[in-house]
Structure 1
């Protein structure tokens, strides 16, 4: 089926219907332009809580066949529209969504209807941006046509005209983008599932379902790759009747087909045939076992599409770590500062501490979403970290969990109201020739717009404080 035939099929969804775009952020805007270009006769309803939507986007004034609903009544569109294309940022926790679930879709679902056979979908609570970017980098370095889209910042509808028949579409998929899909990518990768986004879902089980849907709708011709080391993920997969060819990957031996590590060697296993691929001491700029696990997932995808192992390893050697992920800020006053603002869950902070050497000061906390911090507290009590700086309500709760351990704790605890206080404390209390790590294990939304904003403010404050203190 060519692109025109696919478009015609998709157009059947919109024919003689009022189609609502619920949420007019970056993805909502790209959905609007897609429909206006390919299906201009469609009656559109733009629905957004922002009252100043038209002032912000003047082109809406001249938009034909378009109705606009803004402000607190924006969810009235649930009743008036025949089809609702929901943006990822809008949570379905509101009970008003319950009886309209059947007519809610999203851009991810519509895009997969057009290009699922070319999509490599990657999701996971942590690691999806790094793994997606790494895979895209490997493909490009080997002159394979690849486009990177999704949660990393580029809505898929924005690149439709750049897709050729042999293009691989590496799609980083958040749980929000996977919610309400009815079709899965041809190659799906599930990196891990941890307790996260509890503010967005009615339950942790609902969050798990959204993640699993990346493979749930696959058929026998598709491929599913998942992390065998993630116990929750393994137990969940065992209970679901996934129809595709399943591959496992792990830092230790696996049960089924896939890729794994044993005695610092990488092995590929397929139908009881095991092939040694190489050592784990290859050159890489993304440190830590959690990134080695991400690399295994990317290697397995490349194996499926027929890319030679040595070419994959060569490409990995010059891949640079993404910003806010174990990012080295610099050494000032003989203290090494690291920005791991992406860390919004305990597991990410533990992974960071197991990667960065000589962490003397750890910055924790932020917006409290009710995550369980017991395992993190136990780990921290038994760690080599001496100083803890806590931010926000989550910071207070982590502190309380640490104190619950009931043993004499030879640690130093500090509380800060803002990033300047954090950095000022860090310079004063961190030992020379040691590290200070921002790895909060909490969301950023109390003091910052997002984790990127938090990380940037941390870096700016460190640099500015150092300048000030050296003058």
Structure 2
């Protein structure tokens, strides 16, 4: 069923409904429920205070705010949970039905959705797929974890409208429906403060394909491909495994006839982005030919804070890779920026294993500035590593401001300094965007 307004009406008919979390998605949910819903009552629950007047909320909408905001949930038939909210009780201990925008939207439109998840690269791949489709005249919309709630694009959907949807682990955690086309890019240690183990984190992500049927497509990194799905429409993608259905190496994508990535014409920096391009190429070939894909690829503007060139100041090229929250992305950053001279590492300590990064840095001739809590752990690991070459190139600075000042002093002229923290920003900055913006301001202040 894809008559969205009717579906919302039937979905909420006669039910006591609560919106849990009143941020961007919660407000989107409220707008749609207020317009199309047939709920018996509506409430909003949030840890923070919700201003009734500023948000135009009528007296009929109950507000439940403060530290006990989740204690009310069992009073309701249905709870729309925002992805940023962590439930204080497991589902088994709640009598209410937990749902979310993504669940409802997928129930309506799953046949039209290309869903993308993974620890790293999902925003780039989502944006790139949308760009090449849009540039070639495909009726498409972009939404999800990219910053656009799915309810914001739901009205006016046609049967041939394609939705390119970025999906986080928090959006997928309780999903019972999967998209027609699922893309699972990779899996690294992340969000362990919430999930505890990599397995739990993976289990949340797996919902992107777990509820697919035999007519659906799954494109997944060969390292994490589920063996039990090999008889379905499962395709692997890799830059290491030549037997993968989609294989990319040395700037060439092997999927059907080899496709040479026009590396001298594109703005996506780094070999790791060749993998992302290969994923987009797989999808694009359903809608266009190679020449059309190439023309669109060459006009794609990379997203901010993803190996973004900032400026050349004091003879140093500065790069913002604030999106980096894993060892693999910091390693890719060093392998991708031209003439890497210094890397800034560290942020919130979420307990991830930094062994692979420390091992890489041991033999990679670059100056390392560690900062914040996770950076201190990396610094201590390096000092304890007997075979780390030249520990005099490793420094510790308390915060980002100190790290940038130090980098300006020790980075050789003509070299690059990249902030690729391999750590979350929370507790220090609001998000990785704020961290990246702060880095850019500090660099500008060096002039």
Q: Normalising TM by the smaller chain, what interval?
A: over 0.9
Alignment match, 2:50: 53
Query: What's the RMSD between the two structures over aligned residues?
Result: 2.0
| SS of residue in 2 equivalent to 1:447 | coil
Shift of 1:454: 0.5
| Deviation string, structure 1 residues 389-418 (Cα, Å, up to 9, x no partner) | 221110100111222321253132322233
Alignment of 1:184-223 (within 5 A): 184-223=178-217
Shift of 1:136: 0.6
286-295 or 246-255, which deviates more: 246-255
Tell me the TM-score normalised to structure 2 length.
Answer: 0.94
The separation in 2 between residues aligned to 1:246 and 1:139, in whole angstroms, is: 22
128-137 or 413-422, which deviates more: 413-422
| SS of residue in 2 equivalent to 1:306 | coil
The separation in 2 between residues aligned to 1:409 and 1:254, in whole angstroms, is: 33
Give yes or no for the alignment of 1:433 onto 2:414: yes
Q: Which runs of 5+ in 2 are unaligned?
A: none
Shift of 1:95: 3.8
Give yes or no for the alignment of 1:86 onto 2:81: yes
| SS of residue in 1 equivalent to 2:336 | coil
Give yes or no for the alignment of 1:299 onto 2:281: yes
Q: Which has the higher helix share?
A: 1
Shift of 1:456: 0.3
User: 2:426 aligned to 445, 455, 462, which one?
Assistant: 445
Alignment of 1:336-375 (within 5 A): 336-375=317-356
Alignment match, 1:415: 396
User: 2:246 aligned to 259, 277, 282, which one?
Assistant: 259
The separation in 2 between residues aligned to 1:215 and 1:58, in whole angstroms, is: 37
The separation in 2 between residues aligned to 1:15 and 1:182, in whole angstroms, is: 21
The verdict on how the C-alpha distance between 1:251 and 1:101 changes in structure 2, with shifts beyond 3 A counting, is farther
| SS of residue in 1 equivalent to 2:179 | coil
| Deviation string, structure 1 residues 98-151 (Cα, Å, up to 9, x no partner) | 412872111110110111111110111000000000001101110111111111
335-344 or 247-256, which deviates more: 247-256
Tell me the TM-score normalised to structure 1 length.
Answer: 0.90
The separation in 1 between residues aligned to 2:438 and 2:177, in whole angstroms, is: 40
Shift of 1:15: 2.4
Alignment match, 2:71: 76
Give yes or no for the alignment of 1:111 onto 2:93: no
Alignment match, 1:166: 160
Alignment of 1:371-410 (within 5 A): 371-385=352-366, 387-407=367-387, 409-410=389-390
The separation in 2 between residues aligned to 1:182 and 1:220, in whole angstroms, is: 16
| SS of residue in 2 equivalent to 1:31 | helix
Alignment match, 1:134: 128
Alignment match, 2:30: 32
* Matched-pair contact (CA < 8 Å) for 1:216–1:242: no
The separation in 1 between residues aligned to 2:9 and 2:155, in whole angstroms, is: 17
User: 1:178 aligned to 172, 178, 195, which one?
Assistant: 172
Shift of 1:162: 3.9
* Matched-pair contact (CA < 8 Å) for 2:220–2:235: yes
417-426 or 179-188, which deviates more: 417-426
The separation in 2 between residues aligned to 1:67 and 1:296, in whole angstroms, is: 49
The separation in 2 between residues aligned to 1:408 and 1:220, in whole angstroms, is: 50
The verdict on how the C-alpha distance between 1:101 and 1:435 changes in structure 2, with shifts beyond 3 A counting, is farther
The separation in 2 between residues aligned to 1:262 and 1:90, in whole angstroms, is: 40
Shift of 1:58: 3.8
Shift of 1:34: 0.7
The separation in 2 between residues aligned to 1:121 and 1:254, in whole angstroms, is: 25
Alignment match, 2:236: 248
